[in-house]
Amino acid sequence: MYSQPRKKSIWKIHIIFQAVLSILNEVFLLQLLQLVATVEEDLSRGPVNSLDSVLRQCMYLGLSLSRVGADCRGLLAPIFAKTVQNSLEVALRRASRQFEQDMETFTLPKSSSNITRNFSSSQESNEVSFETVVFFFCCFFFCFLIWRRRSSRL
């Protein structure tokens, strides 16, 4: 006689427990998606001082949340990839603009035959002479600007 009402109450508790768990799951999922949206918004605002540090912290958070079944690293990875790509594109555009400006003001030295001769002889010996570097200064500076922008972002 006592077993029947007890079974009904256990089922009621079980149904209520599942409802509470599904609500908590939805709240947690919404908070997680809000975190991902915040990270994406902050990264899209502009350059970050230490993108590496932010990436490490987010991946550590994802690793910690994966222990309870809420790994968000898959959602964060494309955001960081897009940020790095955008930063590289901006750096390349700036370096290209600077290169074009330098090429507009660049003048060739008067004794170009001497530089050509030095360049071809230095290719054989794998050494670069000072005249060669000066002759191709704009190309060197273009590569330097790309390198500097890339290393300052990391």
Per residue in 123-139, pLDDT (tens digit) is: 455 555 555 555 566 67
Task: Determine the pLDDT at residue 34.
Answer: 93
pLDDT tens readout for residues 28-72: 889 999 999 999 998 888 777 788 888 999 999 989 988 888 888
Cβ neighbours around 78 below 10 Å, total: 10
Task: Determine the pLDDT at residue 60.
Answer: 93
110 vs 98: which has the higher pLDDT: 98
**How large is the average pLDDT for residues 115-120?**
49
Task: Determine the pLDDT at residue 122.
Answer: 46
Q: Phi and psi of 72, rounded to 5°?
A: -110, 10
Task: Determine the pLDDT at residue 85.
Answer: 87
Angstrom distance (rounded) from CA 134 to CA 131? 5
Q: What is the dihedral of CA 6, 10, 16, 18, to 10 degrees?
A: -170
pLDDT higher than threshold 60 for residue 12: yes
Q: In the chain, what are the domain boundaries?
A: 3-153
Q: Are 73 and 39 in contact (CB under 8 A)?
A: no
Non-local CB neighbours of 35 within 8 Å, separated by 6+ positions: 72
Task: Determine the pLDDT at residue 1.
Answer: 47
Q: Which residue has the tokens 């930063």?
A: 87
Task: Determine the pLDDT at residue 37.
Answer: 93
pLDDT band for position 101 (cuts 50, 70, 90): confident
The per-residue pLDDT of the chain, averaged, comes to 76
Long-range interactions of 119-125: CB distance < 8 A, separation 24+: none
